Structure 1
Amino acid sequence: MDFLLHHLMMSSSSFLILLFLISHGFQYGEGQIGRGSIATDYNFTGTGIFLNSPHSTFHAAICNPGNQTSRYYLCVVHKQTDTILWSANPSSPITSSSSSLLTLSVSGLTITNASHSVVWSTAGAFNGSVSALRLLDSGNLQLIDKFNVSLWTTFDYPTDTFVSGQRISVGGFLTSFVSESDLMPGDYKMVVTETDATLQWRAGQKYWALSSDLQSAKDSNNRVSYMVMNNTGLYLLGSNSQVVITVPLSPPAILRFGKLAIDGRFRITSYAQDPENSTNNTFIAPTKSCDLPFSCGSVRTCILKGSDTNFICNCPSGFRHSDDPEKEVKPCVPSDESSLASSTSFASSTSSFNYLRLPKGVGYFANKFTSPAFSDSNFSNCQLLCSGNCTCLGFYYINSSRSCYFLENDLGSTFSGADEEDIGYIKTISGKPPSTTHASSNRSNILPIVLPSVALALLLIVIFLYVALSRRKSRKDVILGRKGRQRAGFYAATEEEIDEDESDLSIPGLPTRFTFRELEEATDGFKTCIGSGGFGEVYKGTLLDGTVVAVKRISNISIQGKKEFLTEISVIGRIHHINLVNLRGFCNKGTRCLLLVYDFMNRGSLDKSLFAPYIGRTEALEGPPQVLEWRERMEIALSAARGLAYLHVSCENTIIHCDIKPENILLHDHNGVKISDFGLAKFLSPEQPNLITTMRGTRGYLAPEWLTNASISDRTDVYSFGMVLLEIVHGRKNCVSLPSSEMSEVESYFPVVALDKYEKGKCDELADPRLERRVPAVEVKEMVKLSLCCLHEEPRLRPSMVAVVGMLEGRLPVSKPRVELLKFLKMYSREVVETEGERGVGVGNSGNGSVSYQSPVHVSGIR
């Protein structure tokens, strides 16, 4: 032993892996090194391995990834795939020319270099005396005491990879490497938070969230405690191990690796124990290359070509490729001599800022996952605030929401295909420092600078006084001129309420706040009513800029809920999705009335087209209703599902719609399909004490949990969506009121008919007869299957809306409904049919006594 020790210490050009004798005993077992054990020299063994797990699944070794000879690390490696699960010293690699020691003492593991300086150590990370070093078949390297109690574990300190069974607690993260051979921390992190797991680029700029991935499903709103993988999926779990977010993974595998790659993608690889020891990717995020923050370099625009991973990079208009020979990925710089602003150049007050406008349709990756820096702001303020912010490198101004998004700290890539309303501006530096050679010249320049400034200040004071006096006079005219007046049934505000209307509630993030007079003029005195319901009426209007809008009046809001309601509007105003109708603004007219301003959808609601010609045409709509073809119905279903999935998983807080039905799905010739009234139902507070205030929605679409006072979740919307899917398939309302001589109770409730036909294998008979069999039978069957899956009585058995989107897109197989658990629909139908029968012809009918179409019954009282 002395000879071997001497041989190791004398080898100056190799690594010495030495475990000092700290006791006279010598203990060794499978997967464990006890005190007094001595490992061998790296070059002597030729592998660097000094510890194997019991079944040799993993080994601990001194590794040099990429077979380079300048950086060596203490690693835990999966034997069959050579995957580095953990590395001790990624920021301080061992060099090949030094004589380094790996020692095990009572205080833990320590790596020292030739000068005896500590390169890496576990000292101070735990309390207790180390007895041995143990490597488990899970890949967990542990320091244990004499009672085999773990004192320190590599699972608590992940690097770029984690494995099945390993937990990453809230606040924990994975960090990408610089390259496959350089394990220095790179630019990307995967961070576990109390609500989500997100991918971030430099300075915390988010570019992906687990909750927003279409393969994920949100199961609860509990706080997240940790992230873990097993043989069935990736999970975010709460403190009581309740599932918060799930990503199903198939096929089942006993061993998976979750790795944050050097390109910023998070990949889950399943290890398949076949003779060839193959691996396969089961999950990749983000899937689109253009969603990565630096796929094309700074400012360059990423353009997808035919697939999610095939793309090209171009400089946007006004920019050219940099000539910097040191940069492998050429960034875009302004075409003129101006330079791009950088966070280090702002200290100079001698530079002036210009802004280059990016072309329409060019977006920025971080805007999808960040809140606006300012809302209800104009373009000039947005530009001014960015110029005064030393970390702001540019901004996006969203005209429809009057929101300002800052591009801060580092400029990443842009991408093609964004909303054309999102216009970006990149800050550039131009101008030369003023001359400071002679003091006299400085003094001579004072007057030209000071005099205009003084004049401008005086002018601003005069304008301010004029506006204040005019506003006071206008307000007085409103009080005197409108008091007691009633217009076309519209509530006339009292003097006190007008005073309240002018008060400015300090709630950040509110969308544009219109005055009552502005909306009165836009709607021509609320002349054209295009819809009504329990909430009030909807009017067509035109804003001063020519934008056609729908102005919705909501009445009878409780005084206590006023501020809370506006707070919720501030949240909804920041929500932007192609399948959600855009809330442009609002008007708070006292405590009795609230006006909401939405984009106008020229084809009206889905029920007008879907149930035509069973219902009459609304005059405000453009053109007669047409029978929807099957392909368009599928597109409408998919678009509505995407909008709902966004509300459920992609917002800061889960938003439950509470009233999904064809009347709340709007159509437009050019803007496609948008869900309306999202999130507002649950924020309204009805004042009628005789109503169940927790029940919101429309009878016929209500999930069973509404009627049993059970807890409400996002799966409540899934049930309503399943009902809508059946109506899309059949082209008529699910519940109709026909005389008993014409139709049985069961036949009058379509979900029961659909269940019966599904059991008999006759789903093709359920398609809308007006389509004259222009429908693929297999698609009808899949739609009916999906609808029935959404109608399970137990909410947890219903798929999430994210899963529904995957099934409608064809990425996921359609689940098979559990028929035995859908029998409740027959009993459920009696209550619905009897209620509809008592009501007779609904308020939405044309008055001809037709019973083919039944207007929904609102149970919230105020919608």
Structure 2
Amino acid sequence: MGCLFSCFFFICCVFLPSFAFSGPISTHSISPNFTVSNIQFIDYSGTFLLSPNGTFKATIDAKPLSSYFYFSIVHTASNTTIWSANRNAPMSNSDKLSLTTNGLTITNQAGKVLWSTPPLSSEVSAMQVLETGNLMLVDAKNVTLWESFDYPTDTIVMGQPIPVGKSLESAVTGEDMSVGDYLLQLTDSDVVLQWNRMTYWKLSMDTKAYKNSNGAVSLMLMNGTGLYLLASDESKVVIQVAFTGPSGFRIGKLGFEGRFSISSFVRNKWMLEFAGPVEKCDIPFICGEIGLCTRIPLMAECSCPTKFSSQTNRCMPVDSSLSLPSACNATSTGSQLNSSISYLGLGQDMDYFFNDFREPAKNDINLSVCQDLCSQNCSCLAVFHRNSSGSCYLLENQLGSLISTANSENDRFGYIKVLGNFPPQNPIEQKGNRKHHFPIAGLVLLPSTGFLLLTAFVFLAVQWLWKNRLSKTRTAKLARLNSSSSAELQMISIPGIPRRFDYEELAAATQNFKTQIGRGGFGTVYKGTLTDQTIVAVKKITSSGVQGKKEFLTEISIIGKIHHVNLVRLTGFCARGRQRFLVLEYMNRGSLDSTLFGNGPVLQWQERVDIALGTARGLAYLHGGCEHRIIHCDVKPENILLHGNLQVKISDFGISKLISREQSTIFTTMRGTRGYLAPEWLTSAAISNKVDVYSYGMVLLEIVSGRNNCSLQTCGHITENNDIEGGLSSYSSSSEFRLYYFPLIALEMHERRRYLELADPRLEGGVANEEVEKLVRIALCCVHQDPALRPTMANVVGMLEGELPLGEPRVESLNFLRAYGQRFTETATMEGPSSNVATIATYNSLSYISSQQISGLR
């Protein structure tokens, strides 16, 4: 029957090309001789072969916005291409695909072969697409002669084995399926990503990868539970990445931008489960040739390094007399020999992606020798040299992007080879005969010229010593005259310090500090208007003593250099005697707590999500995007400010402390706010940026519920299902009061998968269960008792944006919430106004230990 259908279809295609079909022509098996082209399909679907259940289809179709056609296998439900035959030789809509007993062939209208299967061991009997997505040619005995799984393109599917030596090759763009510059290669020990054969990522270095054994890898396989690198017997797992998301059809894809990702198709949409590398700056060509990539969590900022400028979308030397050498060929070799070779230094805070994945070309040599090695090699375009070890790294053939490291301990310096197009020297001079061209008068005047130079040198040296002594004398006088304001002199000397205001300016701007708009642990904030009509927030530092001075110096020296859309910008400062002021940008909607907990308009769900995302981005920048790592240590709704269009900015770095990127140590002067303090404050555990992650998780729960986590509520009773009945609206003088600890309720509702009950009731059903689930799961992951289990803020941003899969809260690390919650949920029946005061006092006694107690413990 299948053969009759195929013959009928063949006759229609050959003899009736103008016949209009009402729909796609498709079957589950095709026999030779069969010819098809895209132009035959009136509905442009291009489908002519289906898998038994229709999960996959064989098509000849064009990519969107493209006029090129490809013979491809496509996942039907998502319309995602998983394999293409002629990716380097695209078809026109009238080019033909032919199935004969010798195999598959694609030819153009002139009869030229664009693509074909290799010679086969026997004659083809049928072409089929399996439910796995594998396209197969079989003989009369159903023996496989050829299969697409043996020739992967840029995508793998579940059940598709990738042996050692096989690879995925990226496309050029989303529309151009031609082979691009990126390669995912399976080696006998790992999976690596390469750009122009230079490694820039390994699976084993990813935090989600687990190494189970040290055996040699022979096969990579993906199924419904994870991605596995298997040993030769295929029973031992060497490295694995486990999937935690809902089960669905999964693909692994090497994107044209250079990132390998694994996604699951669930509920008719793709859910990202894994991506590597996570940071965009780790992708080699993200900013183009010699472009400088600065890390912003899950994003990248591109610029040109010093001594280079952007010219026609490419970083070129600022000095127009210099040029970059081209690829190594006969022409370029000659141009390098006829030009003056020099090197432009990149500075200490830049590195190259490939340096950490290869051995240096030479060790124990100085920079001059390293550069000589590059100068003698026309394929060498730049060098990196490590001062401490004398290691020399040669960058050859093609340059990718540079990475801004902001690491003061890096002693690997980079130098870009440049060519100076100067005319060659006189051949006679090159032979060493320059002395014959000196005028004789020059020989006579040389001694007198040397005497004059010596006299000038002595004069300048005496003058420099005299000025230096005079400067020291003046400095000593100033120090004696201004001993009471030495701290102010210290502040003035801080590099990059913002504008300094006079006290009188700020007093006039704030009308003698008339309008108070906020108050914090270290100061009071007033609204002010500068002479140029700029509205600002003026924070008066009210704490006294050494600690207040230290916080002030920290703020002006660090915040003044920070520029991020989700962080309040420091405009300037004022120092007058022992008085300290900060001038900050003004946020006209005040703090999140007044908006979230107040009586104004209810924040809609999307607004809450935007606030959560903006806050996460700001913290992620503090933790990893700055020159130094910064711990906020007082993340709470009062320190999250909003502008007119709900733009989110984090404020109050007065209690921030700095640590280096490699350092995690215990601090003794950090303080926070009750209800947001991480458990490690009460133990001997080290304090790291994970304390901010914990505080953020607590804030996120409040964003979901629209109320304080530790809240005093009236209540009727708690039902058997732990549902909360009653509320503040049912208050009466004889009400029963109960102290609710919302994080515990969130944990219990998570265990029962009843997320919608946690949403702010004022939303009145304006949010879906899965939307609440997303934020609650992220929040619970953030408040794990074990800091190591908490995600980084960069990963939180990824989960909120959908770039990373949602984490699964670990209940064993959340059981501490039950102990906290037990104290908060003790009830008491009280009558009269005095009872309310007693209840509030009880609440305060049951809440977190005070910051003063913490300081004592530390």
Q: TM-score, normalised by structure 2?
A: 0.49
1 or 2, which has the higher helix percentage?
2
Which is greater in Rg? 2
